[in-house]
Amino acid sequence: MMRLFRDLIEAGEFRPLINRRYPLEEIVDAYRYVETGQKAGNVVITVVPAN
């Protein structure tokens, strides 16, 4: 199974489905959204390093 995923990724045929993106400051909202059971893909938390 892992070989199949590796081959798909290397061929550019596997693309993760990103449902929503949230900045780190809104992680509570992201968690609440996931808990609703409405998500259809991945929820991404964006972390930006401080300057």
Please report the pLDDT score of residue 21 as a whole number: 96
Report whether 14 contacts 33 (CB < 8 A).
no
Cα→Cα distances 23→30, 31, 32, 48, 50, Å: 9, 12, 14, 8, 13
Can you tell me which residue has the tokens 């990103």? 18
1-51: pLDDT as tens digits: 889 988 998 999 988 899 999 999 999 999 999 999 998 999 999 998 877
